[in-house]
Copies of this chain bind each other. A is one copy, B any other.
Amino acid sequence: MGLPVRKSKVTAPPPACPLTESLALLRGAWAPNVIWYLSAEPRRFGELRHDIPRISARVLSARLRELESRGLVTRRVLDTSPPSAEYALTPLGRELLPAIEALAHVGRKLIDQWELGRQAPRAARVRRVA
């Protein structure tokens, strides 16, 4: 059975499950965003923080390191005057993109459906966004 000592009881549903494995990676609801913003081009720590405004440095750092330890992201330190680091997706990391896109696709539908269902159960015409 695979997975080593997966955290604790919580966040550790079925053992050795591929699905759980990648899900654990997308954990925290931030990792997918990190991967997403990294997909276009390599980005620096600060840029990612800017891309994902509400993420804290603590969490971004943690996710990045986790992603790196799993071989999904690479970290390259540039020795510029103010030290900077550049993160990029590895080929394996890129394989997560289709899944993320598929998720986003359904998410889009869920949003549409939700909006439809709440404002016009019979004739949805007006689309008011909060």
Residues of A participating in the B interface, judged by any CB pair closer than 8 Å: 2-4, 11-14, 16-27, 29-30, 32-33, 36, 52-55, 70-71, 90-92, 95-96, 98-100, 102-111, 113-115, 117-118, 126-127, 129-130
Choose among B12, B20, B29, B109 the residue that contacts A92 (Cβ–Cβ < 8 A). Answer: B109
Whether A102 lies near B104 (C-beta < 8 A) is no
Whether B71 lies near A25 (C-beta < 8 A) is no
Majority SS of interface residues in chain A? helix
Choose among B18, B33, B36 the residue that contacts A104 (Cβ–Cβ < 8 A). Answer: B18
Whether A107 lies near B17 (C-beta < 8 A) is yes
Bound: A96/B27 CA distance, A? 18
